[in-house]
Amino acid sequence: MDNNIQIATFAGGCFWCTEAVFLRLEGVEEVISGYTGGSIKNPAYREVCTGQTGHAEAIQITFDDTKISYNELLEVFFATHDPTTLNRQGNDVGTQYRSAIYYIDDEQKRKAEEFIKLLSEENIFEKPIVTEITELGPFYFSEENHHNYYNLNKEQSYCQFIIQPKLKKLSKYFSQKLKSE
């Protein structure tokens, strides 16, 4: 693997939403939706959505750190979901929708902790940030029908009412970081 190519893993609610956001960023090579943080091997969506596996719906981002930094990914992550609600994003409720950063090394852990500290000190959010910072364990790819979900299902109501507003927010605040279409 190229030394500039890095991995970041985030959970911020439904992985359809987070995948759609990060796929649009310049320097992001790939985004895979999946499951991590739980206790069973090779979980399926139908198991994870019960909230009984301990897994979060998450995304694994492959990115070129010469084009986009880990801190920039953190900035987008915190701007496009609510890190102050425990086990919930909007109408999606359960531990599988928790806000989490899964680090792969001490540097990612340090950057995540510093970023949350800065957001907290500057009172960016009205309520305390509940995003967990956890070492990445096994990451299980979701079923194929969950990959690239937004791009393949733009007319579906969830995509129109939940994902599209996140993408508009992304375009408004991060237009300089977006891929040209």
Is 141 domain-assigned?
yes
**Confidence band of 181 (pLDDT split at 50, 70, 90):** low
pLDDT at 171: 84
Q: Name the DSSP class of 45.
A: H
- State yes or no: is 14 an active-site residue: yes
User: Can you give the pTM of this predicted structure?
Assistant: 0.94
Q: Name the DSSP class of 176.
A: G
Is 108 domain-assigned?
yes
Q: What is the mean pLDDT of residues 68-91?
A: 95
Q: Name the DSSP class of 163.
A: I
Is 176 domain-assigned?
no
Is 66 domain-assigned?
yes
Is 69 domain-assigned?
yes
Tally the residues of the chain: 181
Residue type, 124: I
The 3-state DSSP class for residue 167 equals: helix
Catalytic pick from 14, 17, 49, 159? 14
Q: Residue 124 pLDDT > 80, yes or no?
A: yes
Burial (CB < 10 A; 0-12, 13-18, 19+), residue 150, is: buried
Give the total number of structural domains in the chain.
1
Q: What is the dihedral of CA 157, 162, 168, 173, to 10 degrees?
A: -170
CATH number of the domain where residue 63 is located: 3.30.1060.10
Is 177 domain-assigned?
no
Is 180 domain-assigned?
no
For the stretch 35-59, pLDDT in tens is 999 999 999 999 999 889 999 999 9
First to last CA, the chain: 26
Containing structural domain, residue 88? 5-169
Q: What is the mean pLDDT of residues 162-174?
A: 85
pLDDT at 98: 97
